[in-house]
Structure 1
Amino acid sequence: MKTEEIRQQFVQAWGVLGTSWGISRSMAQVHALLLLSKSEMSTEEVMEELKLSRGNVNMVLRDLVGWNLIYKQTKPGDRKEYFIAEHDIWQIAVRVITERKKREIMPAKQTVKMLMANATDTKDADQLHVKNMLSELNSFIEQMDTLSDLLLKAEKNALLKNVLKLMS
């Protein structure tokens, strides 16, 4: 299979996977395209390659910069902006975990804690069930928060090596 075919199939597959991870297909496709590109690409090049609108590409590039998954660059004498992806897979994982924690784990943690604090003490079966479920959910979220902290603190490949040692 030729390199271009592999790239196109990866971009399409990454786009489909992205939707199951809660990001737009175009965001995943742009990230995949830049990830497999050795050099920076302009907005126009991304638009042409993926057949996406300027507005969509601009919005996606801004989001990817916000996630610290790509970098914006300029060239002397050229008014265009160019974009290049972070190519260190561990750094990509760390940045995604950081963003997911900020956008998902922390708000869920705050909401569940607030609801637990507002639950009244009662012997009502429904209320007890709600309190128990909130307590279990809180415990799970705390564990996910701790796990994400461990992943963020782990050195590159150290965590995987330790897990594999435990499994042997």
Structure 2
Amino acid sequence: MSQRVSINYERDGREVRGLAAWRVLEHFGGQADEDVLESIKKRLPIALKDFPALAHETINVGVLYENADAQAQAFGYNRLICLPPEEHTTNVTLWHELGHVAIRVRHENGEDVAKTSEEFCSIYSVARMPPDVIDEDRVPYLGEPSVPREEWPNICQRALEYRENNRNYIQQCKEWLGI
């Protein structure tokens, strides 16, 4: 059974409202520790509101298998994020994986996004995070910033704007973050 969350965003100067849905797949729900499952159920609707591209999509939560070479994985083409069932996933990682799916959706809609770049995904995701939910000391695939966490989202938003006319946006973002 899927849950729904309302997403409000602006497009072409007008407010748009949409619904994003999410569901925990049976194999994740059956394997996840109770506190891990409750944490995901609580945080996923909050995170989805930061990704307008996911309005009208259903995000599936599946199991990250033990032999995976990552803390989590996303498969944007089937709107799937895979998380470890026995351990807590940080907000930074959760937003990052949702970022992969949102980037895939935007690519399918013909937008200019770097669909295979982990660095772009990190910048894109952190740019959407409210500063109070950042719960790591590093930005995945970029490093440890020396500036306060409260500044990370604004710096990443600036880097995305900078990307519109500059190819070195990742290096510039790292410089602004003090990495």
The alignment's TM-score, normalised by the length of structure 1, stands at 0.31
Higher relative strand content? 2
Higher relative helix content? 1
